[in-house]
């Protein structure tokens, strides 16, 4: 039996890695077909087919660009000879990064693209139009360890999660040719599945995060339960004045993805979180409520509503459960995100990635803050 690899040969020298960009929809430049599409590894353009009548074949003849990769099979071919050649692994790793549990354990802290070093897992996402609201949410999810590990190791079936998974795998790849990523395919999927509620041009991080969590995925580590005790108060007209009568209280237990607190001015978050201690009363229009977290999530999302500045503690106590901060979304010129790393804090705004002082972070005007169960 003949060796199926005997007629293959490596043609690595013709590949121009500088122009390769696999972040866009895999559509033929000429026919707009998404079937049987190949990347020209010399100029980076996408073409359909390998037959003599196909755009890829004609491109190879007219330009003498001979090296192609199939997006569907990840096989490499020389055209117009239509000869399969040995795969080029670094191109495959760049196009579709894959991981094993051991790979995750051994992820390097620093890697190099074609020109410079970068911090693995801390790479910028293109703000194509006004999709920075979605970029910061993706950055946050990519740094929640159980969520990250699911997308690095598993193969989702839902198209939205397929594209999110590929995006997160690229973010954590030590094999990037350029240390930033364009979330085109993910945002196209978001726009389609949300019926254009969230697009490249419109959206909000809190609403987008809530929508995304409710679409299904590896997010149980973010879900908690809160006990809400409500005591109705109704007006009763007495002889000379209106009195308020307290009726029987009612207790329910509700699931939550995040907890919200109102920020009236400059205040400490630990003080605001007393709202969820089961004792502090919150006055409504027709009732008085108390809230108590009865099932604390492994990762707690807190939304800071209001115009004030919140001082963040190094350790947050919520109903006796202690948390440490892992990320924070804030509004600057656009939406930006601060992420905990092994060596400190990293601030990412669009394609800009830089270190951040923890002192400034904990006093910054943050909007959405994510905490994990304290490891101490």
The pLDDT tens digits for 297-315 are 999 999 999 877 888 998 9
pLDDT confidence of 113, banded at 50, 70, 90?
A: very high
Helix, strand, coil: what percent of the chain each, to 5? 25, 30, 45
* pLDDT higher than threshold 70 for residue 93: yes
Burial 249-259 (b: 16+ CB within 10 A, else e): eeeeeeebbbb
Question: What number of other Cβ atoms are within 10 A of residue 266's Cβ?
Answer: 10
Residue 360 has pLDDT above 70, yes or no: yes
Check if CATH label 3.40.50.720 holds for domain 12-92. no
Mean pLDDT of 23-34: 95
Residue 14 — pLDDT band, cuts 50, 70, 90?
A: confident
DSSP secondary structure string for all residues of 136-179: HHHHHHHTSHHHHHHHHH----SHHHHHHHHHHHHHT-S--SSS
Give CATH for domain 228-373: 3.90.70.10
Q: What is the pLDDT of residue 235?
A: 63
Of the listed ranges 162-176, 241-255, 273-287, 311-325, the least confidently predicted one is 241-255
Mean pLDDT computed over 188-200:
96
Pick the CATH number of 97-216 from 3.50.50.60, 3.40.50.150, 3.40.50.2000, 3.90.70.10: 3.90.70.10
| pLDDT at residue number 325 | 95
Q: How many CB atoms lie within 10 A of CB 145?
A: 14
Kindly report, as residue ranges, where domains of CATH 3.90.70.10 are found in the chain: 97-216, 228-373
Per-residue pLDDT, 238: 56
Reported as a pLDDT band with limits 50, 70 and 90, residue 236 is low
User: Where in the chain do CATH 3.30.40.10 domains reside?
Assistant: 12-92
């Amino acid at each position: 039996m003949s060796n199926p690899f005997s007629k293959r040969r490596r043609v690595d020298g013709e590949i121009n890695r500088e122009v390769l960009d696999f972040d866009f929809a895999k559509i033929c430049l000429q026919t707009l077909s998404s079937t049987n599409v190949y990347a020209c590894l010399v100029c980076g353009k996408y073409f359909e087919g390998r037959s003599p009548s196909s755009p890829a074949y004609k491109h190879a003849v007219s330009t003498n660009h001979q090296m192609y990769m199939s997006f569907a099979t990840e096989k490499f071919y020389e055209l117009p000879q239509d000869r399969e050649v040995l795969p080029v692994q670094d191109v495959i790793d760049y196009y579709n990064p894959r991981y094993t549990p051991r790979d995750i354990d051994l992820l390097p802290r620093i890697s190099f693209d074609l020109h410079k070093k970068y911090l693995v897992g801390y790479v910028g996402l293109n703000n194509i139009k006004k999709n920075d609201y979605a970029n910061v949410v993706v950055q946050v999810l990519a740094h929640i360890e159980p969520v990250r590990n699911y997308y690095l190791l598993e193969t989702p079936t839902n198209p939205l999660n397929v594209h999110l998974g590929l995006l997160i795998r690229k973010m954590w790849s030590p094999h990037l040719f350029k240390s930033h990523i364009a979330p085109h395919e993910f945002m196209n999927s978001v726009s389609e599945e949300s019926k254009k509620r969230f697009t490249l041009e419109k959206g909000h991080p809190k609403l987008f995060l809530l929508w995304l969590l409710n679409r299904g995925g590896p997010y149980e580590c973010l879900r908690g339960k809160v006990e809400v005790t409500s005591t109705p108060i109704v007006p009763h007209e007495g002889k000379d004045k209106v009195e308020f009568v307290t009726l029987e209280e009612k207790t329910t237990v509700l699931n939550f993805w995040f907890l919200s607190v109102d920020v009236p001015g400059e205040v400490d978050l630990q003080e605001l979180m007393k709202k969820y201690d089961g004792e502090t009363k919150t006055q409504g229009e027709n009732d008085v409520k108390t809230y108590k977290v009865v099932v604390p999530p492994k990762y707690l999302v807190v939304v800071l509503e209001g115009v004030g500045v919140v001082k963040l503690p190094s350790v947050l106590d919520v109903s006796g459960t202690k948390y440490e901060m892992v990320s924070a979304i804030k509004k600057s010129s656009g939406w930006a995100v601060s992420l905990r790393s092994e060596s400190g804090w990293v601030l990412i705004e669009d394609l800009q990635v830089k270190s951040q002082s923890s002192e400034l972070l904990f006093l910054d005007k943050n909007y959405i803050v994510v905490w994990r169960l304290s490891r101490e």
